[in-house]
A and B are shown apart, each in its own frame.
Chain A
Amino acid sequence: MSLTRQDVEKIAHLARLSITEQEMPVYVTSLSSIVDFVAELSRVQTGSVEPMAHPLDDQRQRLRPDVVSETDHHEKYQANAPRVQAGLYVVPRVIE
């Protein structure tokens, strides 16, 4: 196994994912096999190759004029929220 249970617990915490006791061994195995699989990349000679982040090389991020273009939809958007109060999203208490 290229990843240990401790590794997967750490990754799950970084990703803010709760993983059940039952699921944990499955992830240790399957994530290890994926990591081994993608490690094949180390065999490729890449030297000074420029990393490619975007599939169209000549594209640049466009800028638009800094003017208000959106209207207020907060009621419609908040209709999907699990909990709102007075137009605010409600979460468990953060500061005691």
Chain B
Amino acid sequence: MLHHLSIGELAERLASRQISSVELTRHFLERVERFNPSLNALITVTADEALAGAAAADRRFAAGERGRLLGIPLIHKDIFCTDGVRTSCGSRMLDNFIAPYDATIVARLKSAGAVMLGKANMDEFAMGSSNETSYYGPARNPWDRTKVPGGSSGGSAAASAARLAPYTTGTDTGGSIRQPAALTGITGVKPTYGRVSRYGMIAFASSLDQAGVLARTAADAAAVLAVMAGFDPRDSTSVDVPVPDYPALLDAPLKGLKIGLLREFFDGLESRNAALIQDALKVYMSLGADTVEVSLPHLPMSVPTYYVVAPAECSSNLSRFDGVRYGYRCSQPRDLTDLYERSRGEGFGAEVKRRIMTGTYVLSAGYFDAYYLKAQKVRRLITDDFRAAFAKVDVVVGPATPTPAFPIGAKIDDPVTMYLNDIYTIGANLSGLPGISVPCGFIDALPVGLQLIGPHFSEAKLLSAAHHFQSATTWHTHTPAGYE
């Protein structure tokens, strides 16, 4: 079946003209039509544009062009601006917003010939760990539709896991690619801060946000990241560092890889989850890696640090939604203040308002030093801990999440409990480090993720390490029942 083929296999079949991009696109659009009503993984389906894009890709093949992603479908997280297509960011605020331009990653993938099937569901403005804060309702986990797919890139993860597209895009501010990838049994890559352009990606927390990819394997993710990554003059924090040819480096020798076991990640970890991580480490040792324990003493402070820094940046970024230039406007405003307050009060959902208010509070006079400045100092201590660890090891390894997928509704009323879902992923964002989550087993028939974090710009090493693991294991090949 076409939806079980890797990106590399699809590219070969397209290149040899065994299948056309139009046929492939129709196949995935049919799956979207069949499964999306029960998964709610997509907010918008762009079938006509997809078929037109596929026909254009077929003309490029006919003209002799070849490419790793040419003619292959994808689904974009609805946080990326897509010219002429609604870009809602999961919010009522942008329910009527037609993006007037393409995000840089959208443009890059489009020019590589990627075919967009639609826009994926997500937590509102990427604020959430369960996809339950979406204005469009929760996306569901294909392994068990009563469970969350994780978040904020929950629709992207559900769509990739259910094989509605060969890959999807996502963004990761505190774990929003790695956590949903882990909860849905796929591979999720969060690159180094600045590695992938943020231009046209609706901002949540600008010093933490980074775009990445959710795919079934590290090899597929490598092919996509090679196109997404790279310097963009339109993003002032984009980094001008050459992009390695990630697919060509997947088979780099693993022998001698020094893996650091993050002591803080194993403290209090549920025993079945810990056993799966230990099994994964045995696989790495059998492949010739060495493991040593490392300690990051300030890491346990990463969640409170994040929940000062991220809301502070969010309160600033989301001030642009004012009911004047675009987005939702309340009806019958009495005056300008009423227009601002009600447009924002009615246009934003509960969690977004909570984060804006948290951010406003920690930045307000009298509290700035105690909260915001303090958090920035602790952020440096956490980053120094990582730096010290990477002087001794190549990568650090631990679980991606504290538990497998939890039931829809279980944590939504308790924000602090929800925030603790990201306890293992937030550190990489605070320090701008790349991370990857790969499937490493099941607990109660729900997937569990292994996380690898590396130094800045070590994506090639992480992808290769994940690829070696996937060459020695079969966890990434499992398909949820009903989506075979």
A19: which B residues are within 8 A, CB to CB? 345, 353
Is B49 among interface residues, defined by CB-CB distance under 8 A? no
> Are B354's CB and A31's CB within 8 A?
yes
> Are B193's CB and A81's CB within 8 A?
no
> Are A37's CB and B301's CB within 8 A?
no
Most central of A14, A39, A55 by chain B CB within 10 Å: A55
> Are B360's CB and A51's CB within 8 A?
no
A8: which B residues are within 8 A, CB to CB? 357
> Are B364's CB and A14's CB within 8 A?
yes
Q: Specify the main secondary structure of chain A where it touches its partner.
A: loop
Is A59 among interface residues, defined by CB-CB distance under 8 A? yes
> Are A31's CB and B361's CB within 8 A?
yes
B115-123, B262-270, B331-339 - interface stretch: B331-339
A38: which B residues are within 8 A, CB to CB? 304, 307-308, 362, 371, 375
Chain B interface, number of residues (Cβ within 8 angstroms): 73
> Are A16's CB and B340's CB within 8 A?
yes
Give 1 or 0 for each of B227-258: 1 = CB within 8 Å of chain A CB: 00000010011010000000000000000000
> Are A81's CB and B325's CB within 8 A?
yes
> Are A80's CB and B100's CB within 8 A?
yes
> Are A34's CB and B354's CB within 8 A?
yes
Chain B nearest CB from A12 CB (Å) reads: 6
> Are A37's CB and B307's CB within 8 A?
yes
Residue of B97, B319, B354, B376 touching A30 (CB-CB under 8 A): B354
Give 1 or 0 for each of B273-310: 1 = CB within 8 Å of chain A CB: 00000000000000000000000001001011101100
> Are A49's CB and B381's CB within 8 A?
yes
Is B483 among interface residues, defined by CB-CB distance under 8 A? no
- Our count of residue pairs bridging A and B at CB distance below 8 angstroms stands at 172
CB closest chain-B residue, reference A34: B358
> Are A91's CB and B354's CB within 8 A?
no
Give 1 or 0 for each of A35-76: 1 = CB within 8 Å of chain B CB: 101111110101001111111100101101000000001001
> Are B336's CB and A62's CB within 8 A?
no
Interface residues of B in 345-359 (CB under 8 A from A): 345-346, 348, 350, 353-354, 356-358
Is B219 among interface residues, defined by CB-CB distance under 8 A? no
**How far is it, in angstroms, between the C-alpha of A69 and the C-alpha of B337 when the chains are bound?**
35
> Are A52's CB and B379's CB within 8 A?
yes
- Contact A80-B333, Cβ < 8 Å, known A17-B353, A34-B307, A41-B304: no
> Are A40's CB and B301's CB within 8 A?
yes
Is B145 among interface residues, defined by CB-CB distance under 8 A? no
A51: which B residues are within 8 A, CB to CB? 373, 376-377, 379-380
**How far is it, in angstroms, between the C-alpha of A5 and the C-alpha of B296 when the chains are bound?**
39
**How far is it, in angstroms, between the C-alpha of A19 and the C-alpha of B194 when the chains are bound?**
36
B377: which A residues are within 8 A, CB to CB? 44, 46, 49-52
- Contact A54-B354, Cβ < 8 Å, known A34-B416, A49-B381: no
| 15 CB-based A-B contacts, threshold 8 Å | A11-B360, A11-B364, A17-B357, A18-B346, A19-B353, A23-B350, A37-B307, A41-B371, A46-B374, A56-B193, A56-B237, A81-B326, A82-B324, A91-B324, A93-B335
Chain B residues engaging chain A, CB cutoff 8 angstroms: 96-98, 100, 193-194, 207-208, 233, 236-237, 239, 298, 301, 303-305, 307-308, 315, 319, 322-329, 333-342, 344-346, 348, 350, 353-354, 356-358, 360-362, 364, 370-371, 373-381, 383, 415-416, 419, 429-432, 456
19 additional contacts, CB 8 Å, given A15-B356, A51-B380, A82-B323? A8-B357, A12-B357, A30-B354, A31-B361, A37-B303, A38-B375, A41-B305, A42-B370, A44-B301, A49-B380, A51-B376, A51-B379, A53-B376, A55-B429, A56-B432, A76-B100, A80-B97, A80-B327, A92-B336
